[in-house]
Structure 1
């Protein structure tokens, strides 16, 4: 099996999905699912055939064992997974509205994902990588925040393309000013950024064009619009050159939109890592995201490459 060319860094957590739509106080039962945006991206890439390294820290509690078993069963290598007996696993309880959109309630005090240790990734490993991907949830608190920002800087020194998904969860941040400051720090170290409107709400980027994000650091910005598809802009620094494309997405009947953005990012990474042009990258990523919404949970419906190609031809 080839050595991974992509490394995904960030949290793996446990999502509890409701047995019915509506507010959490009306829900009587939940089902347990592996989650966390970076873990979702890593698993989605593995299913597509682009097996990545995954840098994270898992608790040794029962939920951590569940996450470790899930990652192993999905073919994600454990080389850069550390285990932590001193901190528990983050839990997220999900609520769904009538259109299958979701909101989260986190239980994340002194948890394992806040203690990710990028020092386990040596310079020799970075020399063998082309892509390093970070998620924003792990940047919400230290020590993970400072460690991962330092890691992004080190990755760039080794000529890795740094991909960043802010994945904003306002309830995890002390205030909007702190989020915006960390967002600025991360964008300055980013080559490719994937964002949604929610990620930028309340920040100086929220009412501006994507060009403002390009000015903050990335040479390429992928902007998701839910059922309305996605857009990409790139400037002259991008290896694929300046460009702008849109894709209107694919019509599906969603069951659960949890993880759709993560599926999109994995699809985009897969396409870019395999040398696809930006227009094809958007189309492929939108197809992966659409398929991911057709079952409950962020991972259950993640497709392989063959399923994506069949979906696009129907």
Structure 2
């Protein structure tokens, strides 16, 4: 199978709580595969577009479980690295009564922080049309240099480059450090997927969601910003140099019975990449991505809740 999408970043274990409430009040958890870029890669695979996935896990039981899980979802193991000297990262998830979640990370020196520059060969990049990365990789270790190197080389190779800042305050010393790292990455990015809170943390100002997206385009060199808004849907804006419609669009999302919002943003990103790469305009891509994200909230977990194309079509057609 020809693969023209490459996703890179962390794969980790999400520990999902048995009930909502703060971490200190939860007695039991269920192990689930996770990590934002891993979720995006699996979302694409579930939509019948399995990408290459560059990631790094520990040579431990969690890492072997994740390797097996990625393979079961149809992702090739060519760029799935195993680190003999580092553990696999862990994240404990807490939910409130609405399904919204927070994370507590255990990833000091873990395998995902130890990606090294130059591991993706020029031939692979030349065959790729789209490269996507997430911001967590920039927070520590050699993974920051490795990710920035890949984004720069992908842009030079003519790939469409997308990026999700994935603001996790626990992983950064302060907002200024986070913003500086994101500016380094976004200098090579065409499409930015972000939340309102992330753009505000990056110092972007706007009097409305559309205005915020437009302001973000003006700040960086990319041509498209997609603003994810949870249950309120999404806003997308594109500049005149974008290969799809340049008008700002809004989609209200879909009304579903949400069980767990973990990974919904990643599902949205996977759906948007799939739709845009298939040649859909920005409005249709926003609708499709919202349907993917909404469907993903109707079951617990992140990766395990990602829908098939048939599932998404059912939401779009109802």
TM-score (ref. length: structure 1) = 0.97
- TM-superposed CA distance for 1:187, in Å, is 1.2
Decide whether the 8 Å contact of 1:55 with 1:118 is kept in 2: no
Decide whether the 8 Å contact of 2:205 with 2:215 is kept in 1: no
3-state SS of paired residue (1:300): helix
3-state SS of paired residue (2:201): coil
Give me the CA root mean square deviation.
Answer: 1.1
The one-character-per-residue Cα deviations of 1:160-199 (angstroms, maximum 9, x if unpaired) are: 0110000110100011110010111111111001001232
Alignment of 1:5-154 (within 5 A): 5-154=4-153
Of residues 232, 241, 251, the one that matches 1:228 is 232
Decide whether the 8 Å contact of 2:292 with 2:307 is kept in 1: yes
In 1, distance between residues paired with 2:311 and 2:202?
A: 38
The one-character-per-residue Cα deviations of 1:200-254 (angstroms, maximum 9, x if unpaired) are: 3433115562222112121001101110100100001111242211100000111
Decide whether the 8 Å contact of 1:197 with 1:206 is kept in 2: no
1:218 aligns with 2:235: no
**Structure 2: tracts of 5 or more residues without a match:** none
Number of equivalences: 313
3-state SS of paired residue (2:287): helix
Of residues 270, 276, 290, the one that matches 2:274 is 270
Decide whether the 8 Å contact of 1:57 with 1:117 is kept in 2: no
**Structure 1: tracts of 5 or more residues without a match:** none
3-state SS of paired residue (2:304): coil
3-state SS of paired residue (1:126): helix
1:293 aligns with 2:297: yes
3-state SS of paired residue (1:134): strand
3-state SS of paired residue (2:149): helix
In 1, distance between residues paired with 2:78 and 2:152?
A: 21
In 2, distance between residues paired with 1:244 and 1:206?
A: 17
1:245 aligns with 2:244: no
Decide whether the 8 Å contact of 2:117 with 2:145 is kept in 1: no
Indicate how the Cα distance of structure 1 residues 207 and 173 shifts in structure 2: closer, same or farther if over 3 A, else same.
farther
Decide whether the 8 Å contact of 2:199 with 2:216 is kept in 1: no
The one-character-per-residue Cα deviations of 1:23-69 (angstroms, maximum 9, x if unpaired) are: 00100100000000000000010010111000011111111001101
Decide whether the 8 Å contact of 2:263 with 2:301 is kept in 1: yes
In 2, distance between residues paired with 1:273 and 1:228?
A: 24
In 2, distance between residues paired with 1:10 and 1:206?
A: 28
Of residues 284, 306, 314, the one that matches 1:302 is 306
